[in-house]
Structure 1
């Protein structure tokens, strides 16, 4: 139904092809998908909302070209007290409100002790604190290259929304290209892509123009998550074997949780966030892969 409401005709066409194939194996689940008063009406609703919001946003102008950025735009001021209260909840006989009041009146040492009890002895990054960490939330506005975005987009236990891909937020060449003397070639190719994008955007529209944008151009998106998911994302995506672009996003998220939000207990508990040198980490990973290949021969 969502594919039927998409602005691109090819997406709508593939949606119909998928529906045809799915009806061969699960027909009873799809009886209402193309009924006029059910699935078709739902698709019309989605399309109408998209068109209305697109029109409302069209008069807002554009933001100037910018480089990669991570900005923590929203968070819970009292997050750490909320986490401690939520951690005590299943073991107590107090209400949610009562527990938050009790925790707020504790001294710092007692709050820290209970928080450390919640986190426990994490032997590795897969040992995640419990449901209490789902109480606070963080919302980040992010600009990074499209390739890194596609890796971060795979995370599911969060809210993610993105703007159309374009060439208007700039791009940054990989360090290796500059070091090898291919900086001018990079600029030439990216300029050609920019000119082609603007031509297609003017002639056909911004949805179709996305097809010609290389992965190296930046995209702007938001990610909103609770602290438990922040553990998973920042610790996983900052590992030395990861790509430098999303490693930077992950470590910057962690830094802002600690410094901008002031949630030092939460940030310090994310002890497997890795700030180590990116290139060295990737080199070590390649060496490990080579050892495994040699061993398997």
Structure 2
């Protein structure tokens, strides 16, 4: 090709379909080492060559970004809400989960941990879960009746839309009673690097269910994937074989070829020694540091000061996920330590790190806006989707109590005649939590958390920039949203407005304390 031809060449843009994820990743990686087009690379690459390349450059040389090019869809079905929260806790994750607003979870079933030979503990657990589902059903039905009594259907609104909208509002209340044991399903599309770190993290979990899911994910990436076109391909191969047996066999071989999505990139995913050892030692450090302190009351949203020394933030963040104290209270104790003591704790988060281990998430420090949230688990699950910020999560506990579902303009629990039933159900769930926790069975502290309903308060730290704070405040304060996270989004806006009043006018938020049209979606 002469200079004139080169200058005349136009940009070529095309979509790609049908390439196996690892083959496509190898082909794209070749851009850095070959002048071939992607079409030419894909035409010459075999699955075996891709595996050889990835074994060399991904594992031996640590070129981890190659795995970002292989995207793989998975379905994970019949896992608990507790496990789902852990599974989606990745900063590079895309997926969807069953909605507690639009689906009735009465038929979902629930997860039961292995209680060994302790039939009494199993009975306590099962009775508690059944009672919560009964209350979920009762509260949902009676709240729907109360909503219909309070809100007339507009003549312009179809009955089906009216019923569907109010049912969603009723589920918004009833979901507070769903236990973390409740089964759900989700789909995810992640790149192979995220999948590898996800599998490793899940395999390191203290929950048996989550470890099992991690192993099943690893196996699913290595085994032949489910082929949505299998039935149609088999029929086509049979039809061709009726005319030409040899050609039919070739068609069947091509159409029904088993595809393993990431057998090379995920085959070495194992429990993370770095994560396991660091978490163990940081939990011990947090326990020793805060020994004897009671948990101070805290607001729903606490915007921390932005003039904090980085070393103090690092240490506080490292310990935050391993206790139940607010960030502010924990920071006060950390700030009183000597520099040497703080550096010793930083060292706990570093000393077990392997050659290719990513730093613990707590090291993502230095963001300008840091919010400490204390909110119900159900609302947290919605906020959890905002992955542009750094999130530090604490374990689930009964120590922070539970929320009452309150929405301006919507019948209260008392008005619907549900206040006593709701409080009895929540208190009973907490009693069961403590009974299982203290039962002495293996992993008792973990198994007990499945008893906690979504109305239980949990604590989490979100670190972000201004753009993300504005985005979350605007999106989550909208009238169509759940009143739990609407309140949190409003408090975020209020906190930023107090800190930076000249920027407040740029937030397009809606006052969550104003009554809303509950038929507006």
Shorter-chain TM-score range: 0.5 to 0.7
Cα 1:15/1:193, change in 2 over 3 Å = same
Instruction: Look up the match of 1:50.
Output: 279
Cα distance in 2 for partners of 1:241, 1:179 equals 22
Aligned to 2:401, which of 142, 159, 170?
170
Aligned to 1:183, which of 419, 425, 441?
419
Structure 1 SS opposite 2:205: coil
Aligned-residue offset at 1:58: 2.8
Aligned to 2:520, which of 272, 276, 285?
285
Cα distance in 2 for partners of 1:5, 1:230 equals 32
1:239 and 2:478 aligned? yes
Relative contact order, CA 8 A, sep 6+: which one is greater? 1
C-alpha distance after superposition, 1:149-179 (max 9, x if no partner):
0000110100111211122211132233222
State how many pairs are aligned.
Answer: 218
Instruction: Look up the match of 1:275.
Output: 511
Aligned-residue offset at 1:264: 2.0
Q: Conserved in 2, the CA contact under 8 Å of 1:171 and 1:218?
A: yes
Q: CA RMSD in A?
A: 2.3
Cα 1:234/1:227, change in 2 over 3 Å = same
Cα distance in 1 for partners of 2:296, 2:428 equals 17
Q: Conserved in 1, the CA contact under 8 Å of 2:371 and 2:462?
A: yes
Q: Conserved in 1, the CA contact under 8 Å of 2:396 and 2:449?
A: yes
C-alpha distance after superposition, 1:177-232 (max 9, x if no partner):
22212111111111111111112222344322211000111111111110011111
Instruction: Look up the match of 1:227.
Output: 466
Q: Which moved more, 1:149-158 or 1:9-18?
A: 9-18
Aligned to 1:266, which of 500, 503, 506?
503
Cα distance in 2 for partners of 1:257, 1:227 equals 9
C-alpha distance after superposition, 1:28-61 (max 9, x if no partner):
212432xxxxx45xx1221111111222223425
Instruction: Look up the match of 1:127.
Output: none
Q: Conserved in 2, the CA contact under 8 Å of 1:163 and 1:220?
A: yes
Question: What are the residue-to-residue correspondences of 1:129-140 with 2, within 5 Å?
Answer: 137-140=368-371
Question: What are the residue-to-residue correspondences of 1:29-40 with 2, within 5 Å?
Answer: 29-33=265-269, 39=270
Runs of 4+, deviation exceeding 6 Å = none
Cα 1:150/1:276, change in 2 over 3 Å = closer
Cα distance in 1 for partners of 2:468, 2:496 equals 13
- Unaligned 5+ residue runs, structure 1? 34-38, 78-134, 287-297
1:20 and 2:219 aligned? yes
Q: Conserved in 2, the CA contact under 8 Å of 1:65 and 1:170?
A: no
Cα 1:188/1:46, change in 2 over 3 Å = same
Question: What are the residue-to-residue correspondences of 1:60-79 with 2, within 5 Å?
Answer: 60-61=290-291, 63-64=294-295, 66=297, 69-75=300-306
Cα distance in 1 for partners of 2:222, 2:514 equals 48
- Unaligned 5+ residue runs, structure 2? 1-199, 224-259, 309-365, 407-411
1:193 and 2:429 aligned? yes
Instruction: Look up the match of 1:2.
Output: 201
C-alpha distance after superposition, 1:66-96 (max 9, x if no partner):
575111113369xxxxxxxxxxxxxxxxxxx
Q: Conserved in 1, the CA contact under 8 Å of 2:487 and 2:512?
A: no
Question: What are the residue-to-residue correspondences of 1:119-130 with 2, within 5 Å?
Answer: none
Cα 1:136/1:194, change in 2 over 3 Å = closer
Q: Say which one has the larger Rg.
A: 2
TM-score, L = length of structure 2 = 0.39
Cα 1:52/1:268, change in 2 over 3 Å = same
